[in-house]
Each structure stands twice: as C-alpha cells, then as structure tokens.
Structure 1
C-alpha cells in the first residue's frame, strides 16, 4: 500500500507557520539553509504582515513543506509518491529528487515576484462548494467579460472548484453561485489570479528561467497537479513547473490516479490540512493525515505501517 507526501499551495498559509513547525534538527537546518540562500532571516517572512506578499507566502510554503518532508524521511518514513498543489509542486519536485532545494527557492521567489508584479491589485480567487463543474462552468461563462475576466482555476473535488480573475468578476460568480444553491462561495487568501490564462506571460518567463536549471529523473514518482498524471521525465517536470502557474489545477484527477495505483495513506506537509480534508471526503476508504494535526512521530509510524502491509 503506497504512501503519498502532499504539499499544499497558496491559501493554506498561516501567520507564524514557520515558527510553528515541529522541533527537529532537520527542520531547523532547512530553515537555516533557506535563510542563507535568500540572504536574510526567513522567519522575518513569517508574520501576518509579511504574508500579505505573494513572494513571502510561496517561499514560506516551499520551505515549510520541504523541511517537514525531510524530517519525516530522516526519521525513516517511507514515501512512494510526491504531489503538490499549485506552488506545492516545487516542494514535491524537491522531495521527489528532481529539483535541488536551493534552485527551487530561487525559482519560487521569482515565481512570486512575477505574479505579484503582474497583478498589483484588483485580482484574486474564490472557492465554490456544492455545485457541480458544468453548472459552475455555465455561471462563469455568463459572467465573463473583457473588462472583468474570470475563469475556472482549481478542480479540487467534484463539488469544490476555485475560480480566478478580476475581483469584480470573481465576486459576481460567487454571488450567482450562492443564489443557485452553492453550499459555500467565498474569496480565499490569494490576491493574484492563479491558474488561468491571465498568467500566461508569467508562465513564459518562468519557462525561460527553468531552461537554465538542471533537473534529474525523480527517485520518487512526481504527480502533476496540472495534467493529473505521474511524471518521471525531467523535461516533462520542467514544463509542469513552468506552466502550472497558468493552467488549471486538476488535483482531484491526480489524487484519484494515485488511489487507483494503490495509494492508501496521504500525508500533508505543513502548514495546513486542506488537502487532507479533500482526501477524507473524496476517498473515505483511505487514510489521510496532516503533519500539522498528527505530528511527525505519528505520521512516520503510519507511513511505515503502510509500507509493512505491502
């Protein structure tokens, strides 16, 4: 029975999330390494004010996920797959063994800067629960305008979909969704229109930067949240990391594929439990836990218990 390490994306951030990581020498070492690479104390990026920046959020999420995953591996936790949601894909690529951590830090910082500079204000994302994809697609199509574009962005579950675009467009979609029976429809903590064509220029610049980066064949299979498939070819992973920023996240497809291939334990890296809750709802027959809730020791025990039952 296979074990998946999952890495959350933007929207999962919490103030002081780096300070709240479990005490462990590998985690402390990863934080120190990141601070040295960036040339400043990473914990300064960890406050509520600092996390208003897309750059700070994405770098902190990368470091948090890699630090926890490294600690689990240092304690002997077994892992068969690595999967990341949105910017979490970079953490997954690091732990899969395809992308070096220092390089990932540089790329994620650039990614955040490009996104932040492209859309200073007036854009964002919102989540809709309780409406099926086709119905929400129709609402978005009716709402879209050149002045206030809005798109389907993240397919997190059959009835949990995120939209992205101008704030006015997003708010109109959310209001219509509530009127048409959505269980929940609200904005999320993302101030850029991720995973839609508005970010095509960002993806192109990121692709240029990635051309200069060495990637290796992963030691652990890497699950793409853009295609919903697993990737072993370094060039395919390179493309995935670049264009994931402007293409929809197909998280449910990726998770479904892993379950079909035998995944029975999903362990979510800090700071949150968003991916854990998605898995619990979509796949009630499997086990899904988060480091934030269960701790390193329990997650390690569960990972090795699942390996022993192979």
Structure 2
C-alpha cells in the first residue's frame, strides 16, 4: 500500500474548525499558538468563534486552513508515531493547500508558511478591485469543453480555466463581464450547470499577476528546504523536490491552472493506492474517488478521524 497525504484549499473553512483538535491534543494546540505568534494576531479565535465573514476573508482563510492541516500532521507525528517521511510516498495540496503540503514535508517552517499565506491572501485580494472579477464552476463537462467555453466567453477579456477539479467539474476565472457570459455560452457546449462561486477575487487567472509578483518577492526571501517526500505541484501535475523549482512553481500557481484532476492521476499512476486528506472538510477525498475509482480515500480533520485512521497509518 502506497499513500499520499493531500491538503485542502479555500472553501473548506468553517467556524469551529480545529477547536476539537486543540482541546484534545497538546500538539495541535501548539500549532495554533505558533501560527498566532507568527502572524501577530489571534487567528485561532477567528477560526473557533468567527464571525464567518472574517474567517472567510482570503487573508484569514488561507493561513487558517494550513494551520488545521498542520495540526493534524503534528498530532499524527507527535502523538500517534506516524512519520510523514515513512508513511507517505507523495504529498499534494489544492491551491493554498500546496503550502500546507510543503510545510508538512518540511520544505517550509510553520511560521513561514503562515506568513506567506497571509501575504498571499492579501495580495490576491488587492490584485483586482472588488466586483471586477468572478469565478464560475462548470458542471457536467471536462477540461476540453471548458477551454472552448472560456475562449468564447472571453471576447477579449480574461477568462481561463482556474481549477480542473475532476472529469465533470472545471472552474473558470476572469473578468466579471466575461464570467457573466459563461452560462449562456456553456448551453451550446453541453454544460449542465454553471454555478457562480462566492469568492472575493478571480483566483488562478492572469488578473492575479500583481499577486504573483508579490509572492515572487516574498518567496525569494524565504528558506525552502528539500521536502522529505516529493510534492506533486499544481501547475505541472508532477512531483518536485528541488527548492528553486518549488519556488518558481508557487509563483506560477498564482496565475496558473490548478491541475488537480491530473495531480490525482499522477498519484495513482505512480503507485498510490490510498489518499488521506489532512485538514478541514472532505472535498479532496471525494474528488479523489471520482477521479480515480481505484483509490481509497479518507479525511482526517477531527480527533475521531485521527483515531480511526491511526491504525491504517501505523
């Protein structure tokens, strides 16, 4: 049995996430305290008590989701004797989850990951004035059709594939006026539904270039170590271990497509049989089983999840 640990992205946040971990495991509490100290804010209070609108702000949601993922990692390592380097063949994360994956694999310190994600959230929010960008999920079609819909809806504006999540779910991102045209254009291409996403900015498209520039500057000043296991990078859907390549791909990721369907395919194609999603929510476990029917997938986000999974990871 070969395992991969995967880490969720934005949208999996919820008020109360991580509280039970902190109350049950000292190792988890330590992670939340470290993140609070690194950011100079009581992020854990926002995570556990809300309000939801404050937690959902990109600059809070990104480090918060990483903190929950790292709390699970720390509990597994400190309290269950599960060493990532021995237990996982690969790690991967969806968008911001790639930072969680890198921190879990020792490429980033916890404090650096928290500060980078805070900045990433701020930079992404500032890149496009509120109301000028949007994102929409296309249901019932795959990447080829989604690319045609994006090209037709663009009409000279930015409209591109942001997330290739699974064979029948692709997210487009770009200028609001272009995204507004997607539903009508999609009808002619067999799109079952076009669902506008409740996001504050158009992530993973060319409009995010100012955020990519900000991350290039920030990442240039951060130490990246060789990860203890290879990281499957979003924008190339294959494994990397070289710190300079990791740095370059994280910058590209801001404006590039999250090729999650292909990332999961890469895992399965390289011998992975079991996927464990570490952190808040169950989105990636669900996607894994829809992308590759052969995969077993479990989510670990609560003390009960950890207790259930620990024997399988021993």
In structure 1, distance between residues paired with 2:256 and 2:201: 14
Q: CA deviation at 1:56?
A: 0.7
The 5 A counterparts of 1:153-232 are 153-177=162-186, 180-232=189-241
Is the CA contact 1:44–1:50 (under 8 Å) kept in the aligned structure 2?
A: no
- Give the 3-state SS of the residue equivalent to 1:135 in structure 2: helix
Mean CA deviation greater in 264-273 or 73-82: 73-82
Identify which of 70, 77, 100 aligns with 1:73. Answer: 77
Q: Is the 8 A contact 1:10 1:189 kept in 2?
A: no
Work out which of the residue numbers 132, 135, 150 in structure 1 matches 2:159.
150
| Partner in structure 1 of residue 91 of structure 2 | 82
Report what 2:61 is aligned to: 57
SS at match of 1:263: coil
Is the CA contact 2:70–2:279 (under 8 Å) kept in the aligned structure 1? no
Pair 193,20 (structure 1): closer, same or farther in 2 beyond 3 Å: farther
Consecutive aligned runs of 4 or more in structure 1 exceeding 6 Å deviation:
none
The aligned counterpart of 2:150 is: 140
Residues 65-144 of structure 1 aligned to structure 2 (within 5 Å): 65-74=69-78, 75-77=80-82, 78-122=87-131, 123-144=133-154
Q: Return the alpha-carbon distance in structure 2 between the equivalents of residues 177 and 230 of structure 1.
A: 33
3-state SS in 2 of match to 1:268: strand
Structure 2: runs of 5+ lacking an equivalent: none
Q: 1:4 to 1:121 in 2, by over 3 A?
A: same
Deviates more, 1:166-175 or 1:233-242: 166-175
C-alpha distance in structure 2 between counterparts of 1:288 and 1:202, whole Å = 33
Question: Given the superposition, is the C-alpha separation of residues 179 and 57 from structure 1 closer, same or farther in structure 2, using an over 3 Å criterion?
Answer: farther
Q: Unpaired runs of 5+ in structure 1?
A: 305-310
Report the Cα distance in structure 1 between the residues aligned to 2:216 and 2:159, rounded to whole angstroms: 24
Deviations 1:52-93 (A, max 9, x none): 311011111111111112212221232222101101110100
Kindly tell me: are residues 295 and 189 of structure 1, through their superposed partners in 2, closer, same or farther at Cα, counting changes over 3 Å? Answer: farther
Listed one character per residue, the Cα deviations across residues 119-162 of structure 1 (whole Å, up to 9, x for unaligned) are 2411232211211222222211111134x532111111222111
Equivalent residues in 2 for 1:260-275, closer than 5 Å: 260-275=269-284
Of stretches 107-116 and 39-48 in structure 1, the one that deviates more from structure 2 is 39-48
Deviates more, 1:173-182 or 1:69-78: 173-182
Say if 1:282 and 1:51 are closer, same or farther in 2 by CA, change over 3 A.
Answer: same
Quick one: distance in 1 between partners of 2:270 and 2:280? Answer: 27
Q: What secondary structure, in the 3-state scheme, does the structure 2 residue paired with 1:272 have?
A: coil
**Contact 2:149/2:189 (<8 A) preserved:** no
Contact 2:128-2:207 within 8 A present in 1 as well:
no
Distance 2:275 2:182 in 1: 32
TM-superposed CA distance for 1:297, in Å, is: 1.4
Contact 1:125–1:191 (Cα < 8 Å) also in 2: no
1:296 to 297, 306, 314: 306
Secondary structure, aligned partner of 1:49: helix
Equivalent position of 1:18 in the other structure: 18
